[in-house]
Structures are given as C-alpha cells and as structure tokens.
Amino acid sequence: MWTHFVAVLILIRHGQTTSNAQGLLVGRSDPDLTERGREQALALRHYLRDIEHVVSSPLSRALETAELAVPHITPIVDEAFIEVDYGTLEGHALTEVPLEQWRSFEEDHTLALGGGESLAALDERVHLRLNQWMADPDNLLHHPSQHIVVASHVSPIKSALAWALGVSGGVAWRSRLDNGSVTTITSRRGAPLLVTFNVVPPSHHGG
C-alpha cells in the first residue's frame, strides 16, 4: 500500500503488554504481550505490504510484534531502537512517581529518570541510526518500492517523529502513541518527511 511513496520507513509500536495493561512504567524490562497485544500485532499485517526488511528492538515484546505482523521476514535486532531505561523506577506505576520528579523529566531532556537513561541520550542513538540510513544511498530507505519496518517502543518512535519534523525532542510530550500503531516517514529532497503518525488498525478489541 506504500508503493506511491519513495523511502518509506514504517515504525510500529509493539502490542499491549501485561505492564501496559497495569499502567506501569516499562522500559528495559521484558513483559509478555497480552492476548490483546497479539491481536494488535496481527492487525498490523494489512498495513505492512511490500516489506523487504524488518528491524526490531531486542526486547521480546517488539520482536514478537514484528514476527506476528510480518511473519515472512526474520527481524534484525538493533539496539538503537530499544526503549528508554527508567532505572530504579522501572515497573512502578506512574502514580508512584512524585509529580515534581515527573515534571522535571518532562522539562529537562538531559535528566535520567530513576538514574536510567535521559531522553537526550535516546535521541542521540535513534537519530544517529536514522541519519546513517538516510546518508547511505544503498540503504533500502531509498528504494522506490521496498520498505523498512522498525518494531519499537513509545520513546524511540517519538524520537523518530522529532527527527522527521526537525524539532526538539520535547515534542514527545505533545504527542500520543498507542500500542499497535503505525508511524510512517518518507523523504523529500534528501530530508525526512512525516507521512502518518499513530495510525491504529482496528482489532477485535477496537485497537
């Protein structure tokens, strides 16, 4: 369905996990997909045609989503697209994080929440990989009909959004990204161009 675009990068957020369902901060931990999460991954198949290459975060929730969504291609693991590290706050409910601490995290892109990883550090690794792909004329990102899927998480995909728009990483706090969603980026005159963001295919539970 993307054949009228050149250089299409399709980023998919993994399906719902047990931690997502409980409203917990989930970064580097590796909870399983729920039944709904697997349905969300299967619902992505309709959006993922003409795919020649699949990249995934090393975490199993992203890998399983990729395998369900694009079953005919084995994903290549890329650490650049792993979720942010929440450090000591991993697995805690958001309501357990003091409001002032969370506000500081939103306002200071260099702050590592819970002593984990800052969003600035995450942007650095995500943007480095995307810039490498954009600069490589042999990368599939520049092929007129063969597209790349990246199975990842909220923070790396929002980082890719900032990269595509050429804006500060703070845009992450002004955007919503759902489980099982599709975000697409193409290029124009050698620069990234956002096509869609947070497109959620319908599933048996309404996506």
- For the chain, 207 residues long, give each residue's pLDDT as a single digit of tens: 444 445 589 999 999 999 999 988 999 999 999 999 999 999 999 888 778 899 999 999 999 999 999 999 999 999 999 999 999 999 989 888 888 888 998 899 999 988 999 999 999 999 999 999 988 887 777 776 778 999 999 999 999 999 999 999 999 999 999 999 999 998 877 789 899 999 999 865 443
3-state secondary structure of 51: strand
Tell me whether residue 206 is in a domain. no
Decide if 27 is inside a domain. yes
Q: Can you tell me whether residue 159 is helix, strand or coil? A: helix
Residue 38 CB neighbour total at 10 angstroms:
18
Q: Are the beta carbons of 171 and 198 closer than 8 angstroms?
A: no
**Is residue 2 in some structural domain?**
no
Assess if residue 68 is contained within a domain: yes
77 domain-assigned = yes
Give residue 190's pLDDT.
Answer: 76
- Phi first, then psi, for residue 20 (nearest 5°) are -60, -45
Q: Domain holding 29: CATH number?
A: 3.40.50.1240
Whole-angstrom Cα distance, residue 157 to residue 160? 5
Residue 4 confidence (pLDDT):
47
Q: What phi, psi does 15 have (nearest 5°)?
A: -70, 170
Name 71's Cβ contacts closer than 8 Å, sequence gap at least 6: 45
Report whether 32 contacts 59 (CB < 8 A).
Answer: no
In a domain, 204, yes or no: no
The side-by-side arrangement of strands in the sheet containing 147-152 is 76-77, 51-56, 147-152, 9-13, 182-188, 191-199
Strand partners, 148: 9, 53
Q: Which two tokens stand for residue 126?
A: 């995500």
* 3-state class (DSSP) for residue 112: strand
Would you say how long the chain is, in residues?
Answer: 207
Q: How many CA atoms lie within 13 A of 167 on its CB side?
A: 12
Number of structural domains, the chain? 1
Residue 46: give the domain boundaries.
Answer: 9-199
Within a domain: 119 = yes
Q: Is residue 75 part of a domain?
A: yes
